[in-house]
Amino acid sequence: MSKILIIEDEQRMADLLRRGLEEMGYVAFVAYDAEMGIRLFRSGEYDLVISDIVLPKKNGFELVKEVKELSKNIPVIMLTALGTTDDKLEGFDAGADDYMVKPFDIRELEARIRVLLKRKAATETPQEKELSYANLKVDLLTKTVYRGGQEIKLTPKEFNLLVYMVRNPERVLPRAEIAEKVWDTHFDTGTNFIDVYINYLRNKIDRNFDTKLIHTKPGMGFILRSEDEDKA
């Protein structure tokens, strides 16, 4: 259940919003002025903030700035009865993500809430930390490679090439694809730099191990595969 903080000084409006959102399955909290809003925001974990612009003590623009300083990714929807373009621009300047002009239909507000929560969830997908294939492990944060628990030192280019292969295992990777995806360049058939790097990688990844992972498909490209087809 998403937690929404409503900052609105008009009690009737605030209650209407809170009840409406609760009926739609959200958990809603109300602050009646900006200071109380900031206090509540600091003390809880909210998924979204809805703030009026004209508030006692501090206006909604200042409040949004503070909220965004505390939590960069929190979506904020601003409410106003004014609806002038200036208001809107100032709101977006302060960091508001969306804007509703009073009076509005709560279903319209809910549609915007859903969009913003979805966007927030998408940006919060946890960072990919590790890749693995067979007994090969790639730590993407420290850029360290292990095979069977043994650290293997790679140059940045070798590392990028290996990461691409581990992300695309058991599939033939043509030289042109590797050139484009790893080197960001077009493959010129007159050069053999990819073969050179594949050999560097082989020496480091496969030489000391019985099971070879990097295989050449003559005339086609390379494949990362744990089945030892060189022996087969």
d(CA 174, CA 171) in angstroms, rounded, equals 9
| Structure tokens given for 140 | 């993407």
**Cα separations (Å) of 36 from 45, 49, 53?**
15, 13, 15
End-to-end CA distance of the chain: 55
The interface mask with Ca ion, positions 112-151, x = CB under 5 A, is ----------------------------------------
Residue 28 or residue 55: which is nearer to Ca ion going by CB?
Answer: 55
Least Cβ distance, residue 79 to Ca ion (angstroms): 8
Give the distance between the most distant pair of CA atoms in the chain. 79
Eight-class DSSP state of 132: E
Is 9 a binding residue for Ca ion by CB under 5 A? The answer is: yes
Q: Which residues within the stretch 36-75 sit at the binding site for Ca ion (CB under 5 A)? A: 52, 54
Least Cβ distance, residue 44 to Ca ion (angstroms): 22
Least Cβ distance, residue 137 to Ca ion (angstroms): 56
d(CA 138, CA 201) in angstroms, rounded, equals 14
Place of tokens 């990461």: 163
Residue 38 or residue 223: which is nearer to Ca ion going by CB?
Answer: 38
Candidates 3-11, 34-42, 167-175, 186-194; binding stretch for Ca ion (CB under 5 A)? 3-11
Binding residues for Ca ion (CB under 5 A): 9, 52, 54
